[in-house]
Amino acid sequence: MKKGISISESLRQHQLLIRMAIPCAHFIGTDKSVFEAGIMCPSSMLPSPSPLILTQDELKKLAAYKAVEFVESGMVLGLGTGSTAKHAVDRIGELLRQGKLKNIVGIPTSKKTHEQALSLGIPLSDLDSHPVVDLAIDGADEVDPHLNLVKGRGGSLLREKMIEGACKKFIVIVDESKLVPYIGGSGLAMPVEIIPFCWKFTADRLQDMFEEFGCVAKLRTFGELKKPFVTDNGNYVVDLYLKKDLGDLKTASDSILRLPGVVEHGMFIDMATTVIIASEMGVTLKNK
């Protein structure tokens, strides 16, 4: 046992490794909604000697490791951004070091992921050199019953949408806390990337556009001085907080994108091909 690690913590790590080792790929399905029926690796399959309550980060790791099982040597990969996607990138780097994956090319969705991938020795490129991506793996802030997503609370929505929109297969990895009845249903931010010029004018127009849905638009800031958050592309983010279901998401999307000053929004509509959900009951996979 490593110095400083208690017996209980050592047992916990061992049990988590057991859960990640359970083969579940054959449970992929396209039938009833995962929110109604679900296709799971049930807890009865897990050879745990005692009940184990996983942390949210451990659930994210379960989903991430399952997604990486779809990665094959020779692939061009979209590398996601965020706390869940970080586990997937770490795992890809580990498999490359072990020689279990070869000839991988990664296209990072943010500067942060670019730095992480470089530190792991993952060869990198971009969409100019590889306009078609074999597989992208990324997290999401919300997943609705139709596998539509909210992404971008980490601020990388534009690059994520560009890369994940160019991939043949887009696997989304989440823990069960990200499941919502409708887009915006968590009550948390639905981000919109905008240019800095006259940002308040743009934010006011966004709020007015969705007034009937109880929308409140707030400029994303950070630190004690409340400075505007700046994306990797030099833009600002306005977060929309919704109290009601937007209904037709494609109509809402078109309305946002027609507004001068808007660069992109965080609704990823009909983009995910597979969603992997980790919960205390196991790992669930849902296909489009």
Structure-token match 């706390």, residue found: 83
283, 62 contact by CB (below 8 A): yes
Q: Distance (Å, rounded) from C-alpha 76 to C-alpha 103?
A: 9
In the beta sheet, which residues pair with residue 62?
none
58 is catalytic: no
258, 141 contact by CB (below 8 A): no
In the beta sheet, which residues pair with residue 173?
276
Q: Distance (Å, rounded) from C-alpha 252 to C-alpha 245?
A: 11
Angle (CA) 195-219-56 rounded to 5° is 110
CA distances from 266 to 6, 148, 157 (A): 42, 11, 6
Pick from 91, 139, 176: which is nearest to 272 by CA? 139
Q: Please give the distance of CA 101 from its chain centroid, rounded to a whole number.
A: 23
Q: What are phi and psi of 231, to 5 degrees?
A: -75, 170
Given 58, 142, 160, 193, the catalytic residue: 160
Cβ density class 220-251: b for 16+ within 10 Å, e for less: beeeeeeeebebeeebbbbbbbbeeebeebee
Q: Distance (Å, rounded) from C-alpha 184 to C-alpha 157?
A: 16
Q: Distance (Å, rounded) from C-alpha 238 to C-alpha 189?
A: 9
Pick from 36, 64, 88: which is nearest to 277 by CA? 64
Q: What are the residue numbers of the active site? A: 160
